[in-house]
Every structure is written in C-alpha cells, then in structure tokens.
Structure 1
C-alpha cells in the first residue's frame, strides 16, 4: 500500500535541494510504481494541489506539478479543476497573484487538448471526479434535478468547460469592480474587494493576470473545438447561458483592460452566433414553450448517451452518433424538414465531432450511416 506521506517527503526534500522537476518525477513515479499505483493518479493530483496551497506555494512545487501534468502522472484536467477552486478566489495582490498567473499558464497549456481527455481509458471516472470537485450538481441544480448523481461524462465535460470559462469571466469582472453582487459567483469570494486601482501600470501583475484571463475567455469562445462545446450550453442550458451572455456583454461594454488590449476589441470579443440565448433564429412563443423545453431536454439526454458511448467504444461505432438518428426521426415525424431542424442538426454534428474527438471523415460516415438507417426504417 502506498504511503502518500512518503511522496510528500520526497517532494519536500526535492524543494529544499532544488531538485530538477524531471528528477523529482522519476523518484515519485518509482515510489508509486513500487506501491502498485497506476498513473495518472487522482489521489496524487489531490495531494500535490493540497501541498502547494498554500504552505508550499513556491516556484519549485509549481514546476513539479507542471511536470506531473506533462508526463501524465496526474490527470491535467482534474488538476485544473482543483486549482480553480483554490487559486482563483485567492488571486488578490495581497494574497497569491503569482499563483493565479501560473494557473492561467497551465490552463492555456492543457485546456484546449480535450481529445486526450475524451480518449483516455478512465474518462468516465475522471469526469465523475471533476464533477464532485466542482460540485457541478449544485452549480447547475435545475439541470441535475432529474439526473443521477453520477452524470454521463459528456455532460460533465460540457459543464466543466463552461464553468472554467464563466469563472474567468466573473473573476475578470470582479477585478475591475464590474461584477454585480447578487450574481452567482461560482468559486469567487463575493466579500473580496479586488478592484484594480492602477490600471495605468502595465507591469502590475494583478492587472496583467486580468488581461490574460480576458484573452483566454475570447480564445475559448473563438476556438474551433471549445466554441462548439460551449454551444451545447447555449442550446440546452438557456438560463445559465443567458446569465453568462449578460456578463460577457457587461465586460465588453465596460472593461478598461479589454479596451487596452492590442489584438482584441469589445466588438470582436465574442462571436455573434454565441450571443443569442436561444439556439434558433427566434425565441419560442408561449404556445410551444413546452415543446421546445422537451426538445432541449431530449438533446441533453442524447448528448449524454453519445458521450458515454464514446468513452468505451471505437470511433467507428454507430452508437456514437445515436443523437443524429433521433434528430432525423423527429424531422420525419413532422413530415417536413424545417430550417430550425437543419440548424439543430448542423450544430449537433459539429458538437458530437468535438465531444467524440473524431476526424471529419468518421463524422461524415456517422451522419451517412444514420441517414441509411432512417431510409431502412
């Protein structure tokens, strides 16, 4: 049985001796292998983050953590989730702004490599760990009301990514004194006064961190993969998406830091197709609210089924594309293909391609086979 105290002892000794990160990783890996611990290790991720925050918040330990993420001693996305709950609320200049800077560095390095997460053999259990770390069922309690305590990994992935981006957004708003106090603050402490006073000093670390966070928000919104995953929130969690868009507009309209950035402007901050609270071209009227709600919940269930299948089956398995079959069935039941259905199907195909981590060739085959099955039926 592994002695986690021994792992921490190795880490502390390495800190004192200023041991290189690669040497530390070899020693810790050897210790864990001897104890029969498989890597990446969820427990090691918890231990390292707890070790750093905050008694050992020194450059050496951050280098060790970065190396552990790089060589997959720990699950990178779980580490990001753990750090987000500890670092972001403590980013104030008198607390740990350097840690926030390092967190943003790790976020930039790992958050856009979602295919490695989805294709990992322990994807379902890892997403379940992230779900509990971030308390996603509490953050999105209305969505999880009728959902089991262990949600499908695809749903957890979508909500995890959305939470990371929304947290950056609310932190940036709070840094400039723009966050409304009555809003849900995720992991941002509403009692902190984090308003930046010296915006004219470009070398001020706190202001620099906020500028970096704003640029990352824009990157998440424009990135080919992450924007499509976020569009699933737009389609299936309209209440949360509406609040998110309101805060995006608040930042775009009032952020002095955003206006000072050279390669980003309020007009280009986030794409037009993500501004709407509703996935279709117009909002539903009162007569078909229930029908729309049923469709949205159905799409959520289909995403969950597809995401669950993607974790355990090959990319060529038709079960990955089951949501397409259901959308086509709905279109045939209506006896005509409406423009809204085409738009929904287009967005769903793009999102499933992102979630399943498949090449477009396999994605097209999935769509084609779904159409053939529809003809056969």
Structure 2
C-alpha cells in the first residue's frame, strides 16, 4: 500500500511540474530536467512505464495542446519513457478521434514516423517485462491475435502489424469507402464521431478554422498512406511483415483483403483523395514482400554478390534475389577492412552475433546461413585477389577473415549448441522446471544440427567454382592442402591410414587445389569437421594431362625444428617464411623466446611474428595471443634491479616490434580485437626506453645493433599508429562542445577497453570451461595454472594513463599544442636549452653556422637565443638526451624553424633535407 501511495505521489508531482511548465511556456528540455529530478527523488528508473501512461492520460483530451506534445516527444527522445509504449497508447487513443482531433492525429503520425523505426535497434534490456505487458494492454495484442506476448520480439512484430492494419482501416474509412469489416479486421481503425466531424466540442468554431481542419483531415489521409508505405519499405519492419505472413495466416489474409478492396475502389468517384495513391501503395507492398523484389542498386549488388554456382538450383537460391538477404555479411566484412575503427568487441564476437541475427531475420536454416557466411567471406577475398596499387597489401587481412575469423565464428556457434546438449545430457540444469524447458529446446534444436549444417554447407560450397579460385599468392598453399587430402586417401588405399612414409611416388596425377581445400583444412584444425571430409565426392580432383608433373611434397622446416635441429640461419629463414601447422610448434617457439638461450630469443620472436602470424590460418588465433604476450614479458623471479626489467628484454622486444609493424600484421591484430592490449603493452615500453639515456648499452647476442632510440621509436610510432588511425565506432558523434569524442579520449579509450577486457578475462578464469574458444581465442591474461606459458603475464592489473608519468606529460603537451598556440619559454629553462641545442645541430648540418636569435612571432614561440650554440666543433653531435626530453622540445623546434622559414632565414628546400 505504501509503494502505491509513493507511486501516486511522484506522479502527482510530475503533473504539477508539467502544469507549471505549461503555464510558463518552458522549453521541453527544461521540463525534462524538472521531471528527471522528480523521478530521481522517488528512486524511479527510466524508461518509466508509469510516466508514459501518466503523460498520455494527461494529454487525452483535457490538455491537448502543442506544448504537451513537445514534452512527450522530449521524453521519448531522452528515453525517459519507452517509445514503443507511447506509440501504442497514442494508437489506441488518438486514431479513433482522428476526425474530431485532426491536429492530434497529424502529430501522432509524426511521432510514428520518427520512433517506429528506432526502437527496433534499441537494446532489448531497455524494454522490461512491464513495458511489454503495458503495450499488450494498450493494444490488446494477446486477445486479438491469440498469441501470448511475452518478449520484445513478438511485441515488435504484433505492434507493427497492428499499427499498419489500423492505418489501413482508417485510410479506407476516411477516404469515403463504404466498406464493412469484420470485428477482428476492424481493430482500431474506426473513428469516434465521424459523422459529427467538427461539431460537439467545436460547435462554435468559425468557418475559416473549419475549412483548415477539413483540409488537415484530407492531408492526414495522404500522410497515413505514406506512413504505411514507409513501414513496408523499411528494412526492419518489412521483415516483421514477412514473419507475420508466415505465422499469422488468418490476420495476414484479412489485411491483404482490405488492401485489395482499396485497390478495387481506387477509381471510385466518391473518393476524397487521388485513387492512384492506393494503387501505388498496394504495388509497394507487393514489391516489399515478394522474393523476387530487387533494390534499385541491382547491378551493384549483382557485382558484389555474384557467386558463379554451376548448379542451377543453387544458382537460383543464392543468386541476386536470394543472396541479397546475406548482404549484411559483405558490408560488415568490407567494413572491417577499413582499418580505422576500433570496436569494443573482436570481429569474431560481432560476426557471430550478426550471423545469429540474420538467421532469425531471414527465417533461414543453419545450412543456408553458413553458406551465406562462407560465400560472403570468399567474395571478400575475390574483391582484392589481384591488388592493383597501394603500399600495404590487404589480401592477407582478407584471407584472415575467410580462413581464421569465419571458422572461429562457426566454432562459437556450434559450441553454443554443444553446451546445451551436454548440459541436458549431464542433467546439470539445477531444477526440474529448467530441465523440462531445456529438453524442449534440445528437441527443437535436434542433435548436432548446426555441425551437420556446416558439413552440408561446405559440400554445397564446392559448386561455386568462380569464388573458389585461389589468388596467385596462395595457389601453392591450396595445392598443398589438396595434396594432403590426396595423401590421406592414398594412405587408406595402401592400408597405412596415416601420412607417414608418403612421397611423390604415391600420387599419380597433378592435384589442383582451390580455396575449399584451405577452408576445410581450417575447419579440421578447429575440430569442426574430421578427416572424413577428404572422402567427400569431388573433393579431390585430378588434372589429367600427360605433360603435367606431380606436385612435389614440400618437407616442412618445422619437422626439423621439432626434432631438435640446430637453429641455423637457413632453418631460421625457412621457419620465418613457413607458417606453423600446430599449437605445439608455436608453444615451443614461445618457450625458447621467453626462457631459452639469450642468443636464440630474438630469432624465436622473429619466427613467431613471421608467416605463422600473417598466414598461419589454422593456428593464427594462438600466434596472435603469443605475440601480444611477448610484448609484455613477466618480471623474472630472480630480478632485483632498480630499473625496469624491460631493458633486459630489449633484443626480444625489438624483434617483436619489427615483426608486428610489417605487412598486414597490425590489421590482423585488430581483427582479433587486440589493439587495446597491444597499446597497453607499448605504453610501458615507451615509458621505459624514453626515460633512459641513449648511452645505456643494450645487449644483443645476434650482432644486430639495438639502441635505446630505436627501441623507443619503434614502440612509440606503433602506439601513434594505433592511437591516431584507430577510432571509436561512435567517434562521429559530437560531444557537448561539438568536438569528436574519439579525438579527445583516444588513449584513455584504449586503456578503458583494455581494462574492461582484463576484468572479463579474470571473470572467465573463475569459471573453468574446457571449450575450444576458451583456450584458443586471444586472451591477455594467462592463467597461473597454465604451465605452458610459465610466469603470469604482466597484464595482471588495470592500467591508467597516470601509470606512465612521462607519457602523460607528453600527451598533455600534445593536446595543449592542438588546442592553442605555444606558450613562451623562459631563458634558462631546461626545455629552452634543449631547443637551442637541437637548433644548433640542425643549422650546423645545413652549413648555416649557428641559428640566429628569433623573436616571438604570431605563433607565440619564445625568443630562441644562440647562447648555447658556442660549443665549437661539438655542435654537430646529436644531443644524447632521453627521448621524452627531445619530444618535449620538438614543438618549439618546429615552431622556430617554420618562423625562420617565414622570415626568409631558411629556405623550404632546407626543411626537406
């Protein structure tokens, strides 16, 4: 009782605030602020169902004024109330009074146009069970359709169908068609006081107002027709109608009959509007619901999704008309090639969610969905199979999506089913009610249906000859994959049942490999299918040509490495160029890099960052994880030095930094969602090597010169690359000051992502799980129980920008330089002295003698004296200063040089030398 009284109290308070704001003509934003205070004081969470009901009840009809409509719209846009509920309440209350309240009906249509297509993209958790029940009560959905409304999905479909049916009824009635519908068909479309129109409450209005309202009623009909067309053409709501067509036969048939009646009466002379609008409306609906309907960009989509299947049946099913339903796969994959967005999740997680969403939206089977996923990934590769230009090849990143990311997506989807089946089998669901519910889900799902669908999709995929043609750079790998299958079949015929002892002599013809062979190998490596795939009909094809030669069996250098062969230069080069084929091989490399002989550690890092990282598709997720951990080596148990332990790892870190910055390696790391972790690993490296003197010797056992400046430059430039060229997906959104969010909080954003994932990984380790993804997907935190990796990774605690004081000082200076001009330097200041030394060195190399003193110019730079430039012959030497000190002086050096150039003391040519 007390809670009801409290609820009534805050509602009364909201109404009082609304009344006062209406009288004072306060802006909607000010009203929203005051109402928010009331809700916060009563501990009411938003979006609030009761607030929405209160506002609509207050509106209809004693307070039907423009200002209150604006308040309601503000509440919807601010998510103070569920927009779906407001639209439902207005549908049930405004539509029947559209004749006596044409202004309200027009405003209702405007809100419908703005918010009917936005709630579908809102997080489902925003809509509570109370909201769903309130919508059901407002529109009587359960009673009308005989379907229990228990979730947002059903509510959205039934709401959309109800609104469109209601508008169709209203359009027919307001247009002057004398048609009688059955009670179920009529729904909410009838009007109250239709024959009275402008009488009753409006008896004494003047003629001019009467004509205006009559005109408004006619235009409302046209607006309602446009609204129905909008529902039918929108990509989300048109999907709802397809679901209604498949699952609500009786109601769908009734709607179709009413549309036919509208079209049949389109030429009636009694119509109040142009009958051609009805014809256009029905034509639009037919196109939207037809399977053969094509978007206007027909040729573009055909070029994008052309599959080239050699079987007419599948060519029809997956041609332009059908494959366009999987177009989101193509768009998302192509978007991942942009390389400038940094999502909060890895590509694997996002693509897995997209796959399940498209399965539900398209009403497809798992076989169709997997086939759509594979063909989209193949098209991604084919679109850049022969790159024309560009300094950085993207083919390796596209192959990563096809042969590593996509299989891991399917792993997550199949493991989801396996967990449900295993839980039901072990009867670990906790109680009988849950067990029964789980049994129902298991019966619907079937036993291993997703894995069987994957197999059938791969078998069908073999018919897409054009898509399966390998790019020139992977022809050899495809042939080797086909050769492996040929060897397996030959071994079965010989009775050995293994690959051991096979040579060229056991293979009679030339094996022609394609992308399917690489895809199957990737699936076998992740235990999605087994070796029986080699026996699929048509999987092994021979090129019958007497001039052809057998493909030589290439002995992998990894075999010699695993057998303990000495790490010679030829073997090292071969291991860098040849991807590893198993996790065991990568683990051995990692162990030597971390705990092996000093002279071999940097070589092992180079091997791990070589072909195994960029083209080791069957083990790429493991290579990514190990490379990131190499960037943050743990503190040795016997380390007692005062400085950072990273100095001792300089040769190893230098090899890793050189490896990950080449080719598509950085892009591959970003596809696995590892950019935040890499950035977090680079920050302590920059902090350490930027703070020590360049005269500190760095031991290198390979003979390669490694300097402090080299270490800092490699790490700092890579950090800048991640910071400057990767942005938050919502960076286009504007903050209150009008500046892009991502441009102000880039480093903090990276650390925030790193810390959130670290917390998630810590939570995952508390819940033991033996799934493939738990051990295969890249994880920053290495479990202490994992003996493979020895000591715990350095990523054991959250990181903040304050943890790196030198980096923070430079970062703040960088932001300040962007925000305003440089402030003056005080003579004698350490930075001032460094600036003079750098300028003296530059002028000496240019043969200009000592730099002339400069005065403060428009740029705001200080007067740079040459007092420190009288060092005689030593002025040509580089100042041996820590990197952070040089970076602190660099903006002033650049400012002084540009000022000198502007005054003619330096030429532009000098600046380029």
In the TM superposition, what whole-angstrom CA distance separates every residue of 1:155-214 from its partner, at most 9, and x where no partner exists? 222111110111111111111132632323212337754699xxx999700011111000
Which among 44, 53, 62 is matched to residue 60 of structure 2? 53
- Distance in 1, matches of 2:166 and 2:107, equals 16
- Distance in 2, matches of 1:7 and 1:53, equals 16
- Distance in 1, matches of 2:213 and 2:68, equals 28
- Partner residue in 2 for 1:168: 167
- Partner residue in 1 for 2:22: 15
Which among 211, 221, 245 is matched to residue 256 of structure 2? 245
- Distance in 1, matches of 2:124 and 2:178, equals 37
Which one is further off, 182-191 or 55-64?
182-191
Using the size of structure 2 for normalisation, the TM-score is 0.30
- Distance in 1, matches of 2:43 and 2:212, equals 51
Q: 1:50 to 1:59 in 2, by over 3 A?
A: same
In the TM superposition, what whole-angstrom CA distance separates every residue of 1:15-44 from its partner, at most 9, and x where no partner exists? 111111111110011111111011111000
Answer whether contact 1:253 1:266 (CA < 8 A) is retained.
no
Shift of 1:115: 3.3
Answer whether contact 1:168 1:213 (CA < 8 A) is retained.
yes
Paired residues for 1:281-292 under 5 Å? none
Answer whether contact 2:141 2:158 (CA < 8 A) is retained.
yes
- Distance in 2, matches of 1:275 and 1:180, equals 27
- Distance in 1, matches of 2:410 and 2:189, equals 42
- Partner residue in 1 for 2:151: 152
- Partner residue in 2 for 1:44: 51
Which structure is larger by alpha-carbon Rg, 1 or 2? 2
SS in 2 for 1:270: helix
- Distance in 1, matches of 2:255 and 2:243, equals 13
Answer whether contact 1:128 1:150 (CA < 8 A) is retained.
yes
Q: 1:271 to 1:22 in 2, by over 3 A?
A: same
Paired residues for 1:123-138 under 5 Å? 123-138=128-143
Shift of 1:249: 2.1
Q: 1:14 to 1:241 in 2, by over 3 A?
A: same
SS in 2 for 1:204: helix
SS in 2 for 1:6: helix
Aligned residue-pair number: 300
Structure 2, unpaired ranges of 5+: 1-5, 198-210, 292-348, 373-404, 415-449, 456-527, 530-913
Shift of 1:132: 2.1
- Distance in 1, matches of 2:365 and 2:64, equals 54
Which among 216, 224, 228 is matched to residue 217 of structure 1? 228
- Distance in 1, matches of 2:213 and 2:264, equals 21
Answer whether contact 1:181 1:190 (CA < 8 A) is retained.
no
- Distance in 2, matches of 1:231 and 1:368, equals 29
Q: Does 1:269 align with 2:284?
A: yes
Answer whether contact 1:258 1:266 (CA < 8 A) is retained.
no
Q: Does 1:259 align with 2:266?
A: no
SS in 2 for 1:269: helix
Q: 1:365 to 1:167 in 2, by over 3 A?
A: farther
- Partner residue in 2 for 1:189: 190
Answer whether contact 1:42 1:74 (CA < 8 A) is retained.
yes
Answer whether contact 1:7 1:28 (CA < 8 A) is retained.
yes
- Partner residue in 2 for 1:103: 108
- Distance in 2, matches of 1:202 and 1:49, equals 23
Q: 1:124 to 1:237 in 2, by over 3 A?
A: same
**Higher RCO (CA < 8 A, seq sep 6+):** 1
- Distance in 2, matches of 1:176 and 1:26, equals 43
- Partner residue in 1 for 2:217: 206
Shift of 1:129: 2.2
Q: 1:107 to 1:191 in 2, by over 3 A?
A: closer
- Partner residue in 2 for 1:178: 177
SS in 1 for 2:280: coil
Shift of 1:253: 3.4
SS in 2 for 1:271: helix
- Partner residue in 2 for 1:121: 126
Answer whether contact 1:45 1:74 (CA < 8 A) is retained.
yes
Q: 1:118 to 1:97 in 2, by over 3 A?
A: same
Shift of 1:274: 2.9
SS in 2 for 1:85: helix
- Distance in 2, matches of 1:175 and 1:12, equals 34
Q: Does 1:73 align with 2:77?
A: no
Shift of 1:227: 0.5
SS in 1 for 2:285: coil
- Distance in 2, matches of 1:229 and 1:366, equals 27
In the TM superposition, what whole-angstrom CA distance separates every residue of 1:97-130 from its partner, at most 9, and x where no partner exists? 1000000000000001133345343354422321
- Distance in 1, matches of 2:64 and 2:82, equals 20
Q: 1:194 to 1:243 in 2, by over 3 A?
A: farther
Answer whether contact 2:263 2:279 (CA < 8 A) is retained.
no
Using the size of structure 1 for normalisation, the TM-score is 0.69
SS in 1 for 2:71: helix
SS in 1 for 2:46: coil
Shift of 1:137: 1.2
Answer whether contact 1:88 1:188 (CA < 8 A) is retained.
yes
Q: Does 1:35 align with 2:42?
A: yes
Answer whether contact 1:214 1:258 (CA < 8 A) is retained.
no
In the TM superposition, what whole-angstrom CA distance separates every residue of 1:223-263 from its partner, at most 9, and x where no partner exists? 111111111000111111011011122223324535365x9
